[in-house]
Amino acid sequence: MADSKTYISQVELAEHNRVGDLWISIQGKIYDVTNWAKTHPGGDLPLLNLAGQDVTDAFIAFHPGTAWQYLDKFFTGFYLEDYSVSEVSRDYRKLVSEFKKKGLFEKKGHGVCFSLWFMALLFATGVYGVLCSDSCLIHVGCGGLMGFLWIQSGWIGHDSGHYQIMVNPGLTRVAQILTGNCLAGISIGWWKWNHNAHHIACNSLDFDPDLQHMPLFAVSSKFFHSLTSFFYDRKMKFDSVARFLVSYQHWTFYPVMCFARINLFAQSFLFLLSKRKVPHRGQELLGLLVFWIWYPLLLSCLPNWGERLVFVVSSFAVTGIQHVQFCLNHFSSSVYVGPPCGNDWFEKQTMGTLDIQCSSWMDWFHGGLQFQVEHHLFPKMPRCHLRNISPFVVELCKKHNLPYNCASFWKANAMTISTLRAAALQARDLSKPFPKNLVWEAVNTHG
């Protein structure tokens, strides 16, 4: 019997890759998600970044089984010509299916309620220490407790951005706003927008926002060509100022990480006050308002400006540990230029990610990031299961001759600094013509 299906080629599909004309393929069926992109819970960027391609692996990774039933309303009636599945993708999808049968995506079991109670204890202790003690050392310690509180809120925000951490979506939303916006001053909406783009375009220099820290940092000399950020929609200029800062980035990395939270505060407000469509904008802004009431008010209870400054520095420095952790997983891994490709999902996630080797009793410290390869392959997997599934991922990588990058926490730090230093030394190459900068010349006059 003749095949009555209507097919289009990969080239034809690739033509529908822009705002206003956005098609994707899932298991060889073509879907028009042009209008859906405007209300897509994960934002429009993941769809735009993979537009005009087969996105089956990414769809499987980021969506629950219930999402399949909604695809038919977007079906165009076309099928992808010569649709095929690589051996890597085939094995990856089998692994996802096996984990679903075991219920690993549904069994949370990582003690969210305990984490929330622990955060409440940290907050209460920090406030009590400020209000009821005259000791400067105790005040400094309370600042550190606030930083540790922000780290714990980061783990809650990260998990809740990927899957439902409470018994229902409503309580999950309450936990997000409370721990993220109210207690930490970070917009959960901004975090999801940023983090989804990172997952889809893992370690793409021009599509992954987690690598775009110009003019402060450049993990690759490819940034020296003033790449355009498709996330921020601006050119990341490598001018004289950027060259100067990048040239010493291996020295400034840790100090900058101590105060990286300032950037998160700014990004949250820029996102919420922008013209883009932001779900629950009012809730988000109200949550930030709560933070900017209680935190300055708490600071005002300290006896003098010196202790207030030390309190802020202490809280920022402690939470800076988490910012370092975010960088360790990707800064020293393989990078590339260009949009992500739906056909090499497994390969790109494994090559662009580094696991942190640690004992199980240290899992609380890393918040799931120690199994970053597993998390990137199975983002909806609760972190309590990542250690158990790690051997399966290792085996699959070995089968297909793909890297499974893993290092100790200290080794990962050394690798990150080494990457930054290598790019810094390249940036110092003064043989290349460049706009002159008096500060640069003064520092480098004698080499």
Q: Structure tokens of 73?
A: 């309303």
pLDDT score, position 349: 94
Angstrom distance (rounded) from CA 3 to CA 258: 62
Strand order in the sheet with 29-32: 6-8, 75-80, 29-32, 21-26, 17-18
Q: At what angle do helices 386-399 and 87-101 cross, to 10 degrees?
A: 160
Q: Are residues 175 and 285 in the same domain?
A: yes
Residues 259, 265, 266, CA angle at the centre, nearest 5°? 100
Mean pLDDT by 10 residues, the chain (447 residues): 77 91 93 90 88 93 89 92 91 95 82 88 96 94 96 92 86 91 94 92 94 94 93 92 95 96 95 90 96 97 95 96 94 93 89 93 89 95 93 95 94 96 89 48 45
**Closest of 261, 233, 231, 250 to residue 146, by C-alpha:** 261
Q: How many CB atoms lie within 10 A of CB 358?
A: 15
Residue 410 within a domain: no
Sequential DSSP letters for 173-190: HHHHIIIIIIHH---HHH
Angstrom distance (rounded) from CA 25 to CA 64: 18
Number of domains in the chain: 2
Q: Are residues 65 and 148 in the same domain?
A: no
**Closest of 96, 78, 90 to residue 28, by C-alpha:** 78
Q: Are residues 32 and 172 in the same domain?
A: no
Q: Which of 308, 328, 348 is the last residue of a domain?
A: 328
Q: Residue 79 belongs to what H/E stretch?
A: strand 75-80
What sign does the CA torsion over 364, 366, 369, 371 have?
negative
Q: Are residues 197 and 287 in the same domain?
A: yes
Q: Are residues 241 and 311 in the same domain?
A: yes
Task: For tokens 């390969």, name the residue.
Answer: 347
What CATH number has the domain bearing residue 16? 3.10.120.10
CB neighbour list of residue 118: distance below 8 Å, 6 or more residues apart: 152
Q: Which of 328, 360, 387 is the last residue of a domain?
A: 328
CB neighbour list of residue 57: distance below 8 Å, 6 or more residues apart: 89, 92, 93, 342, 345, 346
Q: Are residues 228 and 287 in the same domain?
A: yes
Q: Which of 32, 65, 84 is the last residue of a domain?
A: 84
Q: Are residues 240 and 140 in the same domain?
A: yes
Residue 58 within a domain: yes
Angstrom distance (rounded) from CA 263 to CA 80: 43
Residue 395 within a domain: no
Residue 435 within a domain: no
pLDDT score, position 41: 84
Q: Are residues 79 and 123 in the same domain?
A: no
Model confidence, pTM: 0.90
Q: Specify whether the backbone of 226 is left (phi greater than 0), alpha (psi in -120 to 50) or beta.
A: left
Reported as half-sphere exposure (CB side, CA atoms, 13 A), residue 17 has a value of 18
**Closest of 228, 207, 210, 231 to residue 219, by C-alpha:** 210
Residue type, 417: I
Q: Are residues 24 and 119 in the same domain?
A: no
Residue 163 within a domain: yes
Residue 44 within a domain: yes
pLDDT score, position 45: 87
Q: Are residues 208 and 154 in the same domain?
A: yes
Q: Structure tokens of 376?
A: 């990137």
pLDDT score, position 441: 47
Residue 140 within a domain: yes
pLDDT score, position 292: 97
pLDDT score, position 440: 43
**Interstrand relation of 355-357 and 234-235 (parallel, antiparallel or unpaired):** unpaired
Q: Are residues 30 and 140 in the same domain?
A: no
Do 232 and 241 meet the contact criterion of CB atoms below 8 Å apart? no
The phi and psi torsions of 406 (rounded to 5 degrees) equal -150, 135
Angstrom distance (rounded) from CA 367 to CA 413: 17
| DSSP code at position 32 | E
pLDDT score, position 432: 58
Long-range contacts of residues 162-168, Cβ cutoff 8 Å, at least 24 apart? 162/379, 162/380, 163/105, 163/108, 163/380, 163/381, 163/382, 165/108, 165/112, 166/112
**Closest of 446, 419, 447 to residue 250, by C-alpha:** 419
Range of the domain at 267: 112-328
Residue 422 within a domain: no
Q: Are residues 230 and 316 in the same domain?
A: yes
